[in-house]
């Protein structure tokens, strides 16, 4: 015999399915380039409460000041924030010519970055709530001025409760990014609390030598592992569903 669920039970089952799908798909991506675009060209003075901040050397260093179209640090020639689109930033006049011009143009939408001499330019993401850190995608390339620089050393680390967790480092040079960007992915799986940070440092590899970078940072997160008190666990939802089914199961007539 085939049993058909009542409209009420179908609605309950649908709600459980949608809730489970919503929980599985809940994720948020924080992009550096995206945030800069949302400024709409208004580069106001930095504040500690911003989701992204730029510092001299590390997150403990001083905040960069606004230049109106980007942010600049206290050490020459530190700067970051000018939007870069594919094809932009060929060679500076007098530094290169011929086919090299095309080879040193940007290949992706990012932001221009100068390291200091010799200080690093630090990009810091600030968590405003508890979140699981699923992935950090760093896209980097050297643009402009042909191959007259020695590139950058890029360092990634996470600060949880003030304690640093080093994720690793890599080198980006004109030699390995003249036609395509270098992408590095970290999947730390750490839980951030409100106030914890992710720090990416662009270091001049000893000294600044006409090094012009194009970079982007994308941080993928999901809900923190511990659910709020008033949200039932999936197992509890399953028991509720079974209880509903039991409640509406056809009853046999009592024996005469």
Q: What angle do CA 47, 224, 123 make, to 5 degrees?
A: 30
Would residue 143 count as lying in a domain? yes
Q: Strand 213-223 to strand 110-114: parallel, antiparallel, or no bridges (unpaired)?
A: antiparallel
Contact 76/204 with Cβ under 8 angstroms?
A: no
Average pLDDT along the chain:
83
**What pLDDT does residue 75 have?**
93
User: What are the distances in angstroms from CA 190 to CA 80, 90, 165, 225?
Assistant: 27, 39, 10, 10
Would residue 126 count as lying in a domain? yes
**Within a 10 A sphere around the Cβ of 6, how many other Cβ atoms?**
11
What percentage of the chain exceeds 70 in pLDDT? 75
Rounded Cα distance between 67 and 81, Å, is 10
Would residue 6 count as lying in a domain? no
Number of structural domains found in the chain: 1
pLDDT band at 6 (very low <50, low <70, confident <90, very high): low
Would residue 219 count as lying in a domain? yes
Q: What is the pLDDT of residues 94-107, one digit of tens each?
A: 677 666 777 788 99
Rounded Cα distance between 156 and 151, Å, is 17
Would residue 252 count as lying in a domain? no
Cis-peptide, bond into residue 118, ω within 30° of zero: yes
Residue 193, domain CATH: 2.60.120
Would residue 132 count as lying in a domain? yes
Would residue 184 count as lying in a domain? yes
Inform me whether the pLDDT recorded for 88 exceeds 70: yes
Would residue 7 count as lying in a domain? no
**What pLDDT does residue 249 have?**
47
Q: Which residue has the tokens 């600030």?
A: 126
User: For residue 159, what are the domain limits?
Assistant: 27-227
Q: Which two three-digit tokens encode residue 248?
A: 């509406």
Rounded Cα distance between 168 and 20, Å, is 35
Report CA 20 to chain centroid distance, whole Å. Answer: 25
Q: What is the pLDDT of residues 202-231, one digit of tens each?
A: 999 988 888 899 999 999 999 987 654 444
Contact 77/117 with Cβ under 8 angstroms?
A: yes
Q: Which residues contact 163 (CB under 8 A, 6 or more apart)?
A: none
Q: What angle do CA 116, 99, 210 make, to 5 degrees?
A: 10
pTM of the model: 0.78
Q: Which two three-digit tokens encode residue 170?
A: 């890599």
């Amino acid at each position: 015999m085939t049993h058909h669920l009542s409209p009420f039970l179908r609605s309950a089952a649908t709600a459980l399915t949608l809730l489970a799908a919503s929980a599985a798909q809940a994720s948020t991506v924080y992009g550096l380039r995206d945030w800069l675009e949302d400024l709409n060209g208004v580069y106001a003075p930095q504040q500690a409460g911003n989701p992204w901040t730029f510092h001299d050397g590390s997150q403990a260093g001083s905040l960069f000041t606004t230049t109106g179209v980007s942010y600049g640090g206290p050490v020459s020639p530190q700067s970051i924030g000018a939007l870069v689109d594919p094809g932009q930033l060929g060679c500076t006049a007098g530094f290169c010519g011929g086919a090299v011009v095309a080879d040193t143009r940007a290949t992706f939408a990012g932001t221009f970055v100068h390291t200091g001499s010799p200080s690093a330019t630090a990009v810091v993401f600030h968590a405003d709530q508890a979140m699981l850190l699923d992935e950090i995608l760093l896209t980097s390339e050297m643009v402009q001025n042909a191959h007259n620089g020695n590139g950058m050393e890029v360092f990634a680390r996470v600060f949880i409760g003030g304690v640093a967790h080093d994720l690793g480092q890599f080198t980006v040079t004109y030699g390995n990014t003249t036609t395509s960007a270098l992408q590095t992915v970290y999947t730390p799986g750490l839980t951030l609390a409100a106030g914890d940070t992710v720090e990416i440092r662009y270091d001049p590899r000893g000294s600044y030598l006409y090094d012009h970078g194009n970079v982007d940072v994308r941080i993928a997160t999901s809900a923190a592992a511990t659910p709020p008190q008033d949200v039932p666990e999936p197992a509890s939802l399953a028991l509720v569903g079974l209880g509903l089914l039991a409640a509406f199961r056809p009853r046999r007539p009592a024996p005469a």
